[in-house]
Structure formats: structure tokens, C-alpha cells
Chain A
Amino acid sequence: MILAVESVSLSFGGVRALQDVSFDVKEHEIRAIIGPNGAGKSSMLNVLNGVYHPQKGKIIFRGREFRDMDPHRAASLGVARTFQNIALFKGMSVLDNVMSGRSLKMRCNFLQQALWVGPARREELEHRRAVEEIIDFLEIQHIRRTPVGRLPYGLQKRVELARALAAEPVLLLLDEPMAGMNLEEKQDMCRFILDVNDHYGTTIVLIEHDMGVVMDISNRVVVLDYGRKIAEGTPDEVRNDQKVIDAYLGVAHT
């Protein structure tokens, strides 16, 4: 068990975004959170990496209990994430963007880095090597020097994944990694997510709209609807759950 969420409730004024949600994530698994629009998926992810602070409940991450998280602590504990609407530095090259993912791992101070002497230089070489391995892994060598703003959407998503991986996370949160992609880009992304999970052993929590994709790549699924957990289990179990079918397709009111 790497992460457990216990009875988390989150509200914004009168809007109850999450109500008493509990689930857990096992080491090395791919865990999907699905649900219709407004179900509270992104809120859940934001609770996990400390952007939102739940009013009730607790988070247990690698045996330590937290009332809530804050983003900096989450990052230093090894939680990395990507965003639904791509949050990269558009004017910077792919290489620099991915490099920025390692900033928490850099030990040299500002002055040493500015002068690029002794340890700073050694450090940069080490980090560059790690970054190059990720670039190789995600097959983005050809755009290494290209400013991110000039890349097509699918590649930007991949660069964002690269940056998250650069932090060598133990837990990777992916917020709709396949939104807005065409079929081929989706297939590529699926392959990369599976490869990351397999090669680095990274535990992955992902939110996704595309049911097909979720069912293909995740080990277990949590289904949210109106802030409540309505189902949980393997993709097959969830697919055949009457409550899930109702939530997605709607129910006739009698």
C-alpha cells in the first residue's frame, strides 16, 4: 500500500466537491479515477498533491499520515503530476523544461550554479544524463532543442510526462493524459504510461475520460459521481456495475 485516502470530504462554500471518499493505491499499480463531468476527479487529484485542503479525512502516504498535503511537500515526498491543460514553459526548449523537473534534486546554491564551478558543473552533468535517459525513453530526441510552444499538442503532453518523470517520482498523478489526442497519439501515450509503470516501477494514478483507454491500461478503477465514490474494482467489475452504467448513461426518472 503506497497511498490511502480515508473519508476525505472537500467543499467550496456550499458546493460539496468530495464527500467521504476512501480508496487506496497499491505499490506499482495503475489506478484510474473515472466519472462523468463534475464528478470530482480533478479535485481528488488536487487533494492528493496538496493544491486543495480537504475539510475532513486524512491521507496516508507511504505509512505517514497527513491531515492535508501541500504541493511542495508532496513533490519532495516523490509525488509528481501532469496537468489537464499543459503547464509547460512555452518559450523554453524541451530539454530545459525536462531539466526543470529536476530542480528539487539540485543541491548547489544559486551562486555556484551561476558561476558553473566544481560541484555545480558535476551536478548538471549528472542531471543532464538522467534527463537524456528520459528523453530517450519517451522518444523525443528529435525535439530536444525545440521550444515547447512550437510543438503539436500530443508531443507537448509527452514533454509534460517527461518533466514529471524527471523528478523520479514514486507516485505519478496524470490528469487526463489523453484528452484531445487522436487515436494514434492515444496509443502512443498508453504505451508510454505502461512502459513507465513497467520500467521505472512508478505507481500511477490517472484521471481519464476515455473509458476504452482506462479499461485497457489500469489495474483498478475508482468511479466518482457527484463527489461520491459509487464503485470500485477491476475494469471488468466496474464496467458491469449497474450504478456506473446509470451514472454514465443516465437513469430514467419514474
Chain B
Amino acid sequence: MDEGIEGLDTFPKLLMHHARVRSERPAIREKDLGIWQTWTWGEFGDEVRALACALAALGVKRGEHFALVGDNRPRLYATMAAVQCLGGIPVPLYQDAVAAEMAFPIQNAGIAIAFAEDQEQVDKLLEIGPQCPTLVRIVYDDPRGMRHYPKDKLVAYDDLLAQGRERLKANATFIDQEIAKGAGSDAAAMFFTSGTTGVAKGVVHTHMSLIGPSRTAAELERLGERDVILAYLPPAWIGQNIFSVAQAYVTGYCISCPESAETVMSDMREIGPTYYFAPPRVLENLLTQVSIRMEDASRVKRWLYRYFMSVASRVGGAILDGKSVSTIDRALYAVGDVLVYGPLRNVLGMSRVKVGYTAGEAIGPDLFKFYRSIGINLKQLYGSTETAVFVCIQPDGQVKPDTVGPAVPGVELKFTPERELVVRSPGLFREYYKNPQATAEVKDADGWFHTGDAGYFDADGHVKIIDRVKDVGSLADATLFAPKYLENKLKFFPYIREAVCFGHGRDRVCAFINIDPDAVGNWAEKRNMPYSGYTDLASRAEVYALVRECIERVNADLATEPEIANSQIHRFLILHKELDADDGELTRTRKVRRRHIAEKYDSLVEALYAGRDSVHVQAQVKYEDGRTGTFSADLKIENASTFAPAAAQRAA
């Protein structure tokens, strides 16, 4: 860590520090026209200063909010920093949100000026113009397709930057004074929560509530200026902000922006990040792709892969944790590393990863073990938007698949009698914007934040999260029912994309299944099974048999865990459509909205419990091109075998 950096309490101060101290080191990269373009900290700092001068003239004021809509781009981050230099509060919005979803944050924060990446985002902002009278200016980056747009509201980034450079030349001290006015306790950014339930809330973070935990975590993982990350998740999500802004500003490492959402995989291979974050869903998709490609490989390769993966799953994790492993196993693992694990890490773009985090939701233990077994130091992290992410981190050598690790230094944790985890830390948000009632509901007088997650400490003091407090239910016989736990177990199978389990207050558990169209499609192709699309594939008897097999394996597994042995899945159906965020069935971060689904498909749930073997559905479907149509068919419902609990077996 640099000397004197501890005293810097705002992002602009940190940025200017790096621009001085490591002006030639890369700050941010973007792949543009097929080539990685680099901004050094010096260049980035200059651009931010100039831009800030122009933004001040445009009307950005201290304490006012500024919306940003776009993918990870250097100019988006430069704008964010420039706004912070002036004491403004950036509000990043999800770039794939539809126009209507953007209206609320803009109205709520009375936003006057917004940054939009391209024509698509400008169109959305113009569309909601009538509902958002406060929005008077839109700064756009990519001018493509916008030649004929009305000029009264729009300002091109390039023009703004040129103006800014002039102003900076005329008055170089203005911006330094503005930066100096900032204090660590000022609001630094506002993030709108994805809103699993109800209306989105603006989470206000101060500079220090973001910088503090970021610094602690960076020290814990020994991150430095030589580290590299790939910024590929939405900038509106706090995690991306922590990894691509807060921690970069704390350590001076380099962030890389992929060319487009479709090129992330190949860009990752080219950049070779050393510090990596992926939600379980991304890791799952990667593994699915690997499995699909392995099925297509030659027989020798398939055998090698199977053999060495079995070696890895036996000893790989232990080697990574530095535990004692026999010499023969070490030698076998070394051979596997040359033949399988090394190439596999390379294909995944993870050859240089020294720390990888996963968080967002519980990760399937097998999925987690897979990555660790091939030598990737993947660890679990626990946190939320309100806690600036870092609450728990698994320290190296103490990684367990079913816990999220002990508290990060400086964080206090405890469980309420209802098993809810409450947190007190320097990273806690200040408030929900303009919503003191909601703030009071989750943050009590002593400063404890109620996470809404249920769990307990295990024997080593690690936190184990089972589910949301409100989702943990009980079956009719009062045994524990943790739907997410079951769904995660199901989702580990490559053929199952999504699962929704029901059982609270019922006598047994039933499930909706979404198959993975890639994996099942490939499987069907192998069997010469023609199908016309997702709906057709999902209704095939063969596919039902495939899914039933997966469910029965989960049931066998559940039978060995006494507390939850009763929540084995008795009946299931495969949904006729993929659950989709556009239909409100998933959140924007792609978490299942179980209650919403239960209401929307109540007739299906009833049919599952009524013991019928098929159910008629008629549904409105929204096609990708925006048209709507109706769909109607009979969905099959099938039973899955269940197993006697292990305890009972032993007794018998």
C-alpha cells in the first residue's frame, strides 16, 4: 500500500493520488476495434479533471444526483469519477432495464443530468422524458445513429471533453478546490436494489463506507497495482462498483472492459485477470459449456478428463488448502495439471487468477469444489448492497463449500433468535434515499443491519446461510423447509437451468423445473431427437425421464441429511417457458422470484398437489421481438421416487 494513501478519504482524492504516483501504470483498458486500448492512471486522471470542469459548467452540483446508464466503459467510469470530483452523487442504472424501470430512480432522486452509453440508452431516457420532467440533459458517448436527434437535450461526450480541456487550461485550480471540498462522510454513490420484493430502494453509500471495507478486503487478499480484473457485470450492481472502482482506487490495479457482452469469454482469455468475481450462475454456465464440449471430445480425451477430474476431486482442494496429501497423489495431480487442469484453466481464462470470489446466492457444493479442485482459488463471499459487499470472506486455507467464512476484520455479526443474521460494520450504507421508514425497518438504533438471511455459525465460527428468513418455511409436519437449498441442489445438474420448489405448509415438496436448452438440446441431438423449440423439448417424455433421474439423485442425497430428509421432492413438472426477468419471474440479477411465480402459476401448483397427472396451461408469451402471443398446452406432471431417511434406514 502506498504511503499516505490511508489519509485519503474520497474517491477523487484517491484517483488524483494514483495519477501522481503511478501515472504510467495502466488504470483501465478497453478492447476497441479488436485491440486493447489502455488509459494510464495519468491519462485517466487528466480526462476526469477536464470532464469535471465541463460537467460543472453543464450544471452538476454538489449533493445532486447524476444517472449513468451503460455497459462497463472507460468513459462511464470517467464520468462517474468526474461527478464525484464535483461532489455530485452518481447513480448507476442497469443497462438492460426497460425504459419504464428507469423512470423510478430518476424521479426518486430528481435527477437532472444523465450519461448514456449509446443510442439504445438515449432512446430509453428520451422515452421516459415526459414522466421525468427533472431530466434536462443527456450526455452520450457513442454518436452512432444519433445525427438526426434533437440537440436541445443531448450533449456528446467528445464535445464535453473538448470544452472541459479548454476550461481546465483557463482555470486549473478550480477542480482541485472542488476535490478538496469532498469529505469521507459525503454520499459517494447510490445503488438501486434489484428489488426481489416491492419497489426498488436507493441505497446511499458514503465515500468511506465504500473505501473502508474495500481497503480491508484488499489487504486481506494482498491485492496490489499489478492485479488485473475484467469488468463484465452491470456497473449498476454494487459488486461491480466495488471491484472496478472502489478496490481499483484503493490499490491502483487495472480494470479491463470487454469489447461486448458476447466476447467476454475470449476477452477474459486474452486479459487473464488475476482477481476475479463471478456469481454462481456464471460459473455454472462455464461448467455447462465445458461439460458439453467434453461430451463432444474424442474417447481418449474423455477418458483423461474423467480420470484426472476424479483425482482432482479427491485431492485438488486439499492441495490448494495446503493440507497434507500423499506423494503419489501429489505426483498424479501434477500430471493432471499438465494434461487437464492447466489447459482447462487456460480455456476458462483463469490461468492467472490468484483470488476468485463467488457470491450473490448459495453455490452448489459440487460446482464450488470443481473450480477449487482444478487449482483456482475460488472463495465465497457474503454481503449485500447495504453492506458494501464485504461482510464475510473465506480466508485462504479455511475454505468450506457450505459456509461463507468468518467475518471480515472490523465487521461484527450476530444472529437474532429468529436465526436472522445482523451486521454492524464500517461498510454499512447511510440510508435508503428518501425512505426513512424502510431504513428504520432494517437498521436499528444500535446500528445493526438486518440482512434478512437465515443461518447459523458452524463449529469453526464460519457463517452458514441457508435461505432468506422469510422464505424458510416448514412443511405441514413442522420440519424445516429451505426451498433455495433444494433448488440449488437441483441446479447443479447441467440439464436443469432453474428450479422452483414449493412446500411451505404442505405435506410434501413439489417442484417446477426449467431445463437448460443448451445442455438438453445437445443431449437430444446426440439421441437424434428432433424438436422444434424450448417448449417442445421441455414436453418430451425422454426429457422428463432425464429430469426425474436428477431429482431422484437429489432425493437420495437429502435422505442422508436428517433435518431436511422430509423435504424430498415428490412431484414435478417442466415449465413450458424459460423463466425470464422481462416477465418478472426473475430479478435483474436472475434470482428466482418464488412468490411471484407461485401466484402467476397457481393453477400449476394446485395441480401438483391435487395429484393430477397433467395440467392445462394457457399463457401470454412475449417474444423477443416484442410481439405477444398465446400458448396453450397440457403439461405433464410426474412423480419422483423418494427414499427413507438415513436414520430410519439404520434403525430398520
| Chain A residues engaging chain B, CB cutoff 8 angstroms | 128-129, 132-133, 135-137, 139, 141-142, 144-145, 183-184, 187, 195, 198-199
| Contact across chains for A199 and B144 when beta carbons are under 8 A apart | yes
Nearest residue (CB) in B for A143 is: B262
CB-CB under 8 A from B625, the residues of chain A are 183-184, 187
Q: Which of A135, A183, A198 contacts B34 (CB 8 A)?
A: A135
B426 smallest CB distance to A (angstroms): 41
CB-CB under 8 A from A183, the residues of chain B are 625, 627
Interfacial residues of chain B within 602-652, with CB under 8 A of chain A in the complex: 624-625, 627
CB-CB under 8 A from A129, the residues of chain B are 33
| Contact across chains for A198 and B624 when beta carbons are under 8 A apart | no
A155 smallest CB distance to B (angstroms): 11
| Contact across chains for A139 and B260 when beta carbons are under 8 A apart | yes
Besides A136-B32, A142-B259, A199-B145, 9 more A-B contacts (Cβ < 8 Å) are A128-B34, A132-B34, A133-B33, A135-B34, A141-B34, A141-B259, A142-B260, A142-B262, A142-B266
Nearest residue (CB) in A for B35 is: A132
Q: Which of B33, B260, B624 contacts A184 (CB 8 A)?
A: B624
CB-CB under 8 A from B148, the residues of chain A are 198
The distance in angstroms between the C-alpha atoms of A145 and B270, with both chains bound, is 14
CB-CB under 8 A from B144, the residues of chain A are 137, 195, 199
Q: Which of B34, B147, B624, B627 contacts A144 (CB 8 A)?
A: B34
Interface string of B9-50 (1 = CB under 8 A from A): 000000000000000000000001111000000000000000
| Interface range on chain B (Cβ under 8 Å from partner) | 10 to 19
A191 smallest CB distance to B (angstroms): 8
Interface string of B142-155 (1 = CB under 8 A from A): 00110110000000
Counting CB contacts under 8 A, is B263 at the interface?
Answer: yes
**What number of A-B contacts does a CB cutoff of 8 Å give?**
37
Nearest residue (CB) in B for A134 is: B33
Nearest residue (CB) in A for B625 is: A184
The distance in angstroms between the C-alpha atoms of A141 and B259, with both chains bound, is 8
Interface string of B129-166 (1 = CB under 8 A from A): 00000000000000011011000000000000000000
CB-CB under 8 A from B34, the residues of chain A are 128, 132, 135, 141, 144
CB-CB under 8 A from A195, the residues of chain B are 144-145
| Chain B residues engaging chain A, CB cutoff 8 angstroms | 32-35, 144-145, 147-148, 259-260, 262-263, 266, 624-625, 627
CB-CB under 8 A from B266, the residues of chain A are 142, 145
A30 smallest CB distance to B (angstroms): 15
The distance in angstroms between the C-alpha atoms of A145 and B266, with both chains bound, is 10
CB-CB under 8 A from A142, the residues of chain B are 259-260, 262-263, 266
CB-CB under 8 A from B260, the residues of chain A are 139, 141-142
Nearest residue (CB) in A for B32 is: A136
B121 smallest CB distance to A (angstroms): 15
A252 smallest CB distance to B (angstroms): 35
B146 smallest CB distance to A (angstroms): 10
The distance in angstroms between the C-alpha atoms of A141 and B258, with both chains bound, is 11
List 27 A-B residue pairs with CB atoms under 8 Å apart, sorted by A's residue number.
Answer: A129-B33, A132-B33, A132-B34, A132-B35, A133-B33, A135-B33, A135-B34, A136-B32, A136-B33, A137-B144, A139-B260, A141-B34, A141-B260, A142-B259, A142-B262, A142-B263, A142-B266, A145-B266, A183-B627, A195-B144, A195-B145, A198-B145, A198-B147, A198-B148, A199-B144, A199-B145, A199-B147
The distance in angstroms between the C-alpha atoms of A133 and B144, with both chains bound, is 12
CB-CB under 8 A from A136, the residues of chain B are 32-33
Nearest residue (CB) in B for A199 is: B144
The distance in angstroms between the C-alpha atoms of A133 and B259, with both chains bound, is 13
CB-CB under 8 A from B259, the residues of chain A are 141-142
The distance in angstroms between the C-alpha atoms of A139 and B145, with both chains bound, is 13
Nearest residue (CB) in A for B147 is: A198
CB-CB under 8 A from B263, the residues of chain A are 141-142
B204 smallest CB distance to A (angstroms): 36
The distance in angstroms between the C-alpha atoms of A135 and B260, with both chains bound, is 12
B262 smallest CB distance to A (angstroms): 3
The distance in angstroms between the C-alpha atoms of A129 and B37, with both chains bound, is 14
The distance in angstroms between the C-alpha atoms of A128 and B33, with both chains bound, is 9
| Contact across chains for B262 and A141 when beta carbons are under 8 A apart | yes
The distance in angstroms between the C-alpha atoms of A136 and B32, with both chains bound, is 8
The distance in angstroms between the C-alpha atoms of A142 and B262, with both chains bound, is 6
- Which 4 interchain pairs have the tightest Cβ spacing? A142-B262, A132-B33, A184-B625, A132-B34
The distance in angstroms between the C-alpha atoms of A206 and B33, with both chains bound, is 29
B471 smallest CB distance to A (angstroms): 36
Nearest residue (CB) in B for A142 is: B262
The distance in angstroms between the C-alpha atoms of A139 and B71, with both chains bound, is 15
The distance in angstroms between the C-alpha atoms of A198 and B147, with both chains bound, is 8
The distance in angstroms between the C-alpha atoms of A139 and B32, with both chains bound, is 12
A197 smallest CB distance to B (angstroms): 11
Nearest residue (CB) in B for A191 is: B145
CB-CB under 8 A from B33, the residues of chain A are 129, 132-133, 135-136
A11 smallest CB distance to B (angstroms): 43
CB-CB under 8 A from A132, the residues of chain B are 33-35
CB-CB under 8 A from A145, the residues of chain B are 266
The distance in angstroms between the C-alpha atoms of A195 and B142, with both chains bound, is 14
The distance in angstroms between the C-alpha atoms of A132 and B36, with both chains bound, is 13
CB-CB under 8 A from A139, the residues of chain B are 260
B91 smallest CB distance to A (angstroms): 28
Nearest residue (CB) in A for B261 is: A142
B338 smallest CB distance to A (angstroms): 27
B193 smallest CB distance to A (angstroms): 31
CB-CB under 8 A from B262, the residues of chain A are 141-142
Nearest residue (CB) in B for A129 is: B33
The distance in angstroms between the C-alpha atoms of A202 and B259, with both chains bound, is 27
The distance in angstroms between the C-alpha atoms of A136 and B262, with both chains bound, is 13
The distance in angstroms between the C-alpha atoms of A142 and B263, with both chains bound, is 5
CB-CB under 8 A from A187, the residues of chain B are 625
Nearest residue (CB) in B for A186 is: B625
Nearest residue (CB) in B for A183 is: B625
B229 smallest CB distance to A (angstroms): 21
CB-CB under 8 A from B147, the residues of chain A are 198-199
Nearest residue (CB) in B for A185 is: B625
The distance in angstroms between the C-alpha atoms of A137 and B263, with both chains bound, is 15
The distance in angstroms between the C-alpha atoms of A129 and B145, with both chains bound, is 21
A132 smallest CB distance to B (angstroms): 4
The distance in angstroms between the C-alpha atoms of A195 and B145, with both chains bound, is 6
The distance in angstroms between the C-alpha atoms of A139 and B262, with both chains bound, is 10
The distance in angstroms between the C-alpha atoms of A89 and B597, with both chains bound, is 48
CB-CB under 8 A from A199, the residues of chain B are 144-145, 147
The distance in angstroms between the C-alpha atoms of A198 and B266, with both chains bound, is 32
B35 smallest CB distance to A (angstroms): 8
A166 smallest CB distance to B (angstroms): 14
CB-CB under 8 A from A198, the residues of chain B are 145, 147-148
| Residue from A139, A145, A183, A187 having most chain B Cβ neighbours under 10 A | A183
CB-CB under 8 A from A135, the residues of chain B are 33-34
B143 smallest CB distance to A (angstroms): 10
A16 smallest CB distance to B (angstroms): 41
The distance in angstroms between the C-alpha atoms of A164 and B148, with both chains bound, is 25
CB-CB under 8 A from A128, the residues of chain B are 34
Nearest residue (CB) in B for A194 is: B145
A8 smallest CB distance to B (angstroms): 35
B626 smallest CB distance to A (angstroms): 9
B14 smallest CB distance to A (angstroms): 33
| Residue from A132, A137, A142, A183 having most chain B Cβ neighbours under 10 A | A142
